[in-house]
Amino acid sequence: MSTNIALNVPVEESSDLPLSISFWQTFVFWLKLGFISFGGPAGQISIMHQELVEQKRWISEKRFLHALNYCMLLPGPEAQQLAIYIGWLMHRTIGGIVAGVLFVLPSLFILIFLSWLYIAFGHLTWVEGLFYGIKPAVTAIVFHAAHRIGTRSLKNNALWAIAAGSFVAIFALNIPFPIIVLSAAVIGYVGSKLSPDLFLLGSGHGQINKSSERALIDDDTPTPAHAQFRWYRLVLLLLVGLALWIIPIGSLTAIYGWEHPFTQMAWFFTKAALLTFGGAYAVLPYVYQGAVGHYGWLNPTQMIDGLALGETTPGPLIMVVAFVGFIGGYTKAVFGVDHLFLAGAMAAIIVTWFTFLPSFLFILGGGPLIESTHNNLKFTAPLTAITAAVVGVILNLALFFGYHVLWPQGFEGSFDWISALIAIIAAIALFRYKQNVIHVIAVCAVIGLLVSLFFK
């Protein structure tokens, strides 16, 4: 197996390009990316485009967008899947695995550490003050996410109706998120037959500037042998993937039993991994329904705090599931009161494994099929309808957060006007001045700290 990918263009046409890229060169890049991938999927994709297409020129614009369009059709974090795809294309399966693992590994370790600080020392006045300011900011951030996705995807009255229907379904009727997703997909499929123009939308990430310079993997670079579709490879991959799912969940069941928190986390987050159409904000209502409402692994306030931590760490936002797992394992004391940190860390690792495993299988299994065509992929009608439904469930999530932040003791309690003011400041910064999410959270955290020290 070769560990280098060779440039397939004459040297005189690209004299400043290396003739090959070693596996260890890409390893260093993916490791760096894991520590700097802030800004959610849009920011992460932008970083990869700037580094890989514009600066390093390891892959051409067309091949980059081709891979991105495929990743956007899949459930799961599209930025991480894009990293897996490019890593696989350059250095076979091992390249894809390394790229995908390093994309999430730094954030897993960081979140385990921050989750421990939060649960062990969150009662301290200054920590409470920081989160007092962060929670209203998170509420504004989720409203902003609903607005951003809505303006991108709700292009006609039919899609607005789907979004409104999904909001009513989850807000008023408490219908489970998977049923809403399935219903939207059916509506999209039927609607595409009756009026296909209503469901033919673009990918929604906006246009990326074109580059005419030659790249290592260029538009006309032949598909490497390992990226060509072979049935036996697909079957082998599916068998390996099934084993990587069955062996861990089977072991947890055999050791602890099906009803144990570890086993239930493995099963619940497997389902969550297959429902993340539309990104992390889309699956958060489902995670809330299960982790908070059904299993009681954490409370609503902790869920808001976890999203805040997820927003301020590198890696995909869906890594908030590591926080959910840690808090669940820690508070349930599954290893006894003397090993709380170990229980939380183990739970975080379990939920991360089962959340991200499908992403690797989707790319390593489907990549050869995508490489066999080089035709740009578009959102299908069902996925367009799902994206519209996502807007409704995110709006419901924002209202849920807003209720718990502005009325901490419920509607019978007093209205927290200071939190409302912080939320308004955060919203103005996001909507009007387009400020970075991390900057908004940092400023609001300082405001919350000052309020807690001098006014409470």
DSSP codes joined into one string, 35-94: HH--SHHHHHHHHHIIIIIIIS-SB-HHHHHHHHHHHHTSSS-HHHHHHHHHHHHHHHHH
pLDDT at 378: 43
pLDDT at 203: 41
pLDDT at 5: 52
Q: Which residues of 389-425 are buried (b: 16+ CB within 10 A; e: fewer)?
A: bbbbbbbbbbbbbbebbbeeeeeeeeebebbeebbeb
Query: For each of the chain's 456 residues, which pLDDT tens digit applies?
Result: 445 554 444 444 445 655 678 889 999 999 988 887 765 666 677 778 878 887 888 888 778 877 876 776 777 788 899 999 999 999 999 999 999 999 999 999 989 998 998 888 866 677 778 888 888 888 888 888 788 778 877 888 999 999 999 999 988 888 877 788 789 888 988 888 888 888 765 444 444 444 457 778 877 777 788 888 888 999 999 999 999 999 999 999 999 999 999 999 999 999 988 876 666 666 777 888 889 888 999 988 888 888 878 777 778 878 889 999 999 999 998 898 889 999 999 999 999 999 999 999 999 998 888 777 554 334 457 767 877 887 888 788 788 878 888 888 777 788 999 999 999 999 999 899 888 777 888 899 899 999 988 876
Q: Which of 352, 358, 344, 216 is nearest to 275 (CA)?
A: 358
* Residue 219 in tokens: 């538009």
Is the pTM above the cut of 0.85?
no
pLDDT at 200: 66
What are the angstrom distances between the C-alpha of 275 and each of 78, 179, 380, 383?
A: 13, 10, 16, 11
pLDDT at 280: 65
Return the SS3 of 223.
coil
Which residue intervals of 195-230 are DSSP H helices?
A: none
Checking 80-83 for CB contacts under 8 A at 24+ apart, the result is 80/44, 80/104, 80/315, 80/316, 80/356, 80/359, 81/359, 81/362, 81/363, 82/45, 82/48, 83/30, 83/33, 83/48
pLDDT at 329: 94
